[in-house]
C-alpha cells in the first residue's frame, strides 16, 4: 500500500493494525436496465476550492466526490492528479482523502466515476462489495492510518454477484467454489427483501445490502469512535450504469 503518516489523533486506534488487501470473486457481465435514480435523490455538490488541496472533513470529501461524479456524468472530466509530478510526489508517502468499497464489476471504476487521480482514494473491490474480516481490515486502514475522513460503500445497478446470489438463495442451489461465500454474505439482504414485494427484487437487494454494509462499518469497534466524533462518515450509495450518476442512499455527512 505504500508508506503513510500516522496522525496523532489516530494514535490510540492504530496500535497493532496490520494493513491488508482483499480481492474476492465474481461479478457480472450482462446489463439489465433499471430505472435511473430520481434527480431529487442525488445531493448537489458544493464546488471545491482546488483539486490540489485535499479535503479534510467528511463533508468536504463528500462534496469533492459528488462534484467529480457530476463531471463524469456531464463528460467534463478534469482528471486531477494524473501526471508524472503527482506520481512522484506520492511515491514516498500517501494520504488518500477517501475510501471506496465497491464491486469488482468492470463497468464501475471508482477513480473514473468520481474523477479522481493518483493518491486520492483507497479503493477496495470485491464481488457485490461484500465485506469480510480481511476486507474490513483494508477499509480500516484508511481512517486509522491515513486519517481518511470518508468511506463510501458503492453498490451499482445490474450487479451480477447480487443477481446470482438472489437466484441461488431463492432456488436453494448453492454456487460452486468460493462463490458461495459471497452468497452467504448477501443472505441478510435477501431475507430483508423477501419479506416484501418489489418490482425488481434484485435491485432492491443491491440497495439493502449496500445500506447494511455501511451500517456495519459505522458500528465497527475501530471506526465507531471516529464516527461518533464526526471525524469519519460512512456513506452508502448506488451507481447507475445507465446514467453514470451516484445516488446517495444514507449516511450523508453534515455540513458542520
Euclidean distance between CA atoms 141 and 109, whole angstroms: 20
Query: Does domain 58-158+209-250 correspond to CATH entry 3.40.1050.10?
Result: yes
The strands making up 150-156's β-sheet, listed across from edge to edge, are 121-126, 98-103, 150-156, 233-239, 246-250
Residue 166 half-sphere exposure toward CB, CA atoms < 13 A: 21
Euclidean distance between CA atoms 52 and 83, whole angstroms: 12
The grid coordinates of residue 141 equal: 486502514
Q: What is the pTM of this model?
A: 0.81
Selection from 3, 126, 239 nearest residue 247 by Cα:
239
pLDDT by position in tens, the chain (length 256): 444 443 443 433 334 333 333 333 334 434 444 444 443 344 444 444 345 689 999 999 999 999 999 999 999 999 999 999 999 999 999 999 999 999 999 999 999 999 999 999 999 999 999 999 999 999 999 999 999 999 999 999 999 999 999 999 999 999 999 999 999 999 999 999 999 999 999 999 999 999 999 999 999 999 999 999 999 999 999 999 999 999 999 999 998 6
The torsion angles phi and psi of 149, rounded to 5 degrees, stand at: -90, 0
Euclidean distance between CA atoms 38 and 59, whole angstroms: 22
- Inter-CA distances, 19 with 15, 138, 146, 231, Å: 12, 6, 11, 21
Q: Does 209 show up as a binding residue in the annotation?
A: no
Characterise 122 by phi-psi region: left (phi > 0), alpha (psi -120 to 50), beta (else).
beta
- Cite the DSSP H helix spans in 53-200: 58-74, 84-89, 110-113, 133-141, 160-171, 179-194
- Find out whether 205 and 166 touch, Cβ atoms under 8 Å: yes
- Find out whether 227 and 233 touch, Cβ atoms under 8 Å: yes
Euclidean distance between CA atoms 202 and 164, whole angstroms: 9
- Find out whether 135 and 24 touch, Cβ atoms under 8 Å: yes
- Domain layout of the chain by residue ranges: 58-158+209-250
Q: Does 105 show up as a binding residue in the annotation?
A: yes
Q: Does 200 show up as a binding residue in the annotation?
A: no
Amino acid at each position: 500500500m505504500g508508506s503513510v503518516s500516522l496522525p496523532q489523533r489516530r494514535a490510540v486506534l492504530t496500535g497493532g493494525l496490520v494493513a491488508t488487501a482483499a480481492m474476492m470473486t465474481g461479478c457480472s457481465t450482462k446489463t439489465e436496465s433499471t430505472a435511473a435514480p430520481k434527480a431529487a435523490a442525488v445531493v448537489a455538490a458544493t464546488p471545491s476550492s482546488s483539486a490540489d488541496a485535499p479535503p479534510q472533513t467528511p463533508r468536504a470529501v463528500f462534496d469533492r466526490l459528488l462534484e467529480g461524479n457530476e463531471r463524469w456524468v456531464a463528460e467534463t472530466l478534469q482528471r486531477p492528479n494524473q501526471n508524472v509530478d503527482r506520481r512522484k510526489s506520492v511515491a514516498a508517502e500517501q494520504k488518500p482523502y477517501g475510501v471506496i468499497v465497491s464491486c469488482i464489476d468492470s463497468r464501475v471504476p471508482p477513480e473514473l466515476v468520481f474523477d479522481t487521480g493518483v493518491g486520492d482514494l483507497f479503493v477496495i473491490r470485491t464481488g457485490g462489495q461484500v465485506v469480510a474480516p480481511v476486507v474490513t481490515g483494508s477499509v480500516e486502514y484508511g481512517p486509522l492510518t491515513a486519517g481518511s475522513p470518508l468511506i463510501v460503500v458503492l453498490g451499482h445497478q445490474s450487479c451480477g454477484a447480487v443477481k446470482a446470489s438472489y437466484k441461488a438463495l431463492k432456488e436453494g442451489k448453492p454456487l460452486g467454489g468460493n462463490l458461495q461465500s459471497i452468497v452467504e454474505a448477501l443472505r441478510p439482504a435477501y431475507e430483508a427483501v423477501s419479506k416484501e414485494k418489489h418490482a425488481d427484487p434484485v435491485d432492491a437487494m443491491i440497495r439493502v445490502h449496500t445500506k447494511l454494509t455501511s451500517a456495519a462499518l459505522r458500528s465497527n469497534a475501530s471506526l465507531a469512535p471516529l464516527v461518533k466524533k464526526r471525524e469519519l462518515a460512512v456513506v452508502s450509495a448506488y451507481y447507475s450504469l445507465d446514467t453514470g450518476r451516484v445516488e446517495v442512499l444514507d449516511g450523508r455527512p453534515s455540513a458542520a
